[in-house]
């Protein structure tokens, strides 16, 4: 509501600005130095394996999966995460668009699979198709709207939700969603098949057969049932991505141990792994990690991993 009103009132913009700064100060700047363990000189997060209903990890005490990156002041916090000493460098390895690749693979949507096989910018590619323009004529706005739909689809967005998230009217949003499904017809089939499966069985599954039970899937309350139906679509996507990165983590852990490497795996942030790399091992480690992450699980689309190094976590992105 305040974001909505901000355009008309300076005081509301200032309230939001203050809150943003207060958040950074209380949650990160003040709190994190208190979390340094005296014995090691490091912050030690705790990973929970049985909290998130989709199979993701969660992180607490402190949460290191929500370190700021979206604002300039927030990025200054991320800079504080550094290698153990000057003989080491941080390496961040991210799965590129893993959830969209998973939904493309599970739905066997050929057009989207082809786009990934060709190494296309999926949001631009989607924009070109749904707005029916050549790839090189896609505007920033069109790509932005296509990106919002691509993400929204994974969550089961409505025309109302999409219009709130973009500058499109409800009617335009509805048309865009319809065109999207005409562009990627197997996606709609897949989503409705997941909901049907959930109605019959009471659960849905990921690529490695992790289940999420959906007790509300046959509820007579349309609101409650609608939420369960979105869960039926989203959980296999988010959960399969979680399965894949967990397999990669196990294989990387074993490879690091077998190879007697000094490099250590430090953090997991859902589609990203962060390593403290012993500099002489860097080139070996980079190819090892890329190989293990991209081949952790064979889908009918390629997985792509982007990596970068830096003297701090911000620079490694």
Partner DNA sequence: TCAATCACG
Partner DNA sequence: ACGTACGTGATTGAA
For DNA, the binding residues (CB under 7 A) are: 1-2, 16, 19-20, 22-24, 26-27, 31, 48, 51-54, 56, 58-63, 65-71, 74, 148, 151-152, 155-162, 164-165, 222-223, 226-227, 230-231, 234-235, 238, 269-272
| Residue closer to DNA (CB basis): 115 or 162 | 162
Backbone angles phi and psi of 276, in degrees to 5: -100, 105
| Nearest distance, CB of residue 31 and DNA, angstroms | 4
Please name the helix (run of DSSP H) or strand (run of DSSP E) that holds residue 49, with its range, or none: none
| Residue closer to DNA (CB basis): 3 or 118 | 3
| Nearest distance, CB of residue 151 and DNA, angstroms | 4
| Residue closer to DNA (CB basis): 26 or 300 | 26
- In angstroms, the CA 312 to CA 233 distance is 37
| Residue closer to DNA (CB basis): 151 or 203 | 151
| Nearest distance, CB of residue 15 and DNA, angstroms | 8
Q: Which contacts of 278-287 are long-range, i.e. CB under 8 A and separated by 24 or more positions? A: 278/87, 278/88, 279/87, 279/88, 279/89, 282/89, 282/91, 282/309, 284/259, 285/91, 285/261, 286/91
What sign has the CA pseudo-torsion 115, 117, 121, 123? positive
- Which of these, 186, 174, 217, lies nearest to 105 by C-alpha position? 186
| Residue closer to DNA (CB basis): 23 or 259 | 23
| Nearest distance, CB of residue 54 and DNA, angstroms | 5
| Nearest distance, CB of residue 259 and DNA, angstroms | 27
- In angstroms, the CA 230 to CA 157 distance is 8
């Amino acid at each position: 509501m305040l974001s909505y009103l901000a355009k008309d009132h300076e005081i509301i913009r200032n309230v939001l600005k203050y809150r943003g700064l207060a958040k950074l100060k209380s949650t990160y700047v003040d709190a994190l130095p208190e979390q340094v363990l005296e014995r090691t000189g490091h912050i030690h997060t705790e990973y929970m394996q049985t909290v998130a209903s989709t199979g993701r990890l969660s992180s607490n005490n402190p949460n290191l999966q929500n370190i700021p990156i979206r604002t300039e002041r927030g990025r200054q916090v991320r800079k504080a995460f550094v290698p153990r000493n000057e003989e080491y460098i941080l390496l961040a390895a991210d799965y590129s668009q893993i959830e969209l690749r998973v939904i493309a693979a599970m739905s066997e949507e050929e057009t989207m699979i082809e786009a990934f096989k060709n190494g296309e910018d999926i949001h631009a590619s989607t924009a070109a198709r749904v707005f029916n323009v050549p790839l090189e004529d896609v505007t920033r706005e069109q790509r932005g709207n296509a990106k919002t739909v691509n993400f929204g689809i994974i969550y089961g967005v409505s025309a109302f939700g999409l219009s709130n998230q973009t500058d499109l009217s409800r009617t335009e949003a509805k048309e865009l969603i319809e065109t999207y499904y005409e562009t990627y017809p197997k996606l709609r089939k897949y989503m409705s098949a997941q909901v049907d499966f959930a109605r019959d069985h009471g659960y849905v599954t990921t690529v490695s057969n992790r289940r999420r039970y959906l007790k509300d899937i046959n509820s007579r309350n349309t609101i409650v049932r609608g939420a369960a139906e979105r869960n039926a679509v989203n959980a296999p996507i988010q959960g399969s991505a979680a399965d894949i990165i967990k397999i990669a983590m196990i294989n990387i852990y074993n490879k690091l141990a077998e190879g007697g490497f000094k490099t250590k795996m430090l953090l997991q942030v859902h589609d990203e792994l962060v390593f403290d790399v012993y500099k002489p091992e860097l080139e070996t480690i980079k190819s090892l990690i890329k190989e293990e992450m991209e081949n952790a699980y064979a889908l009918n689309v390629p997985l792509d991993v982007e990596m970068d190094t830096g003297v701090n976590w911000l620079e490694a992105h």
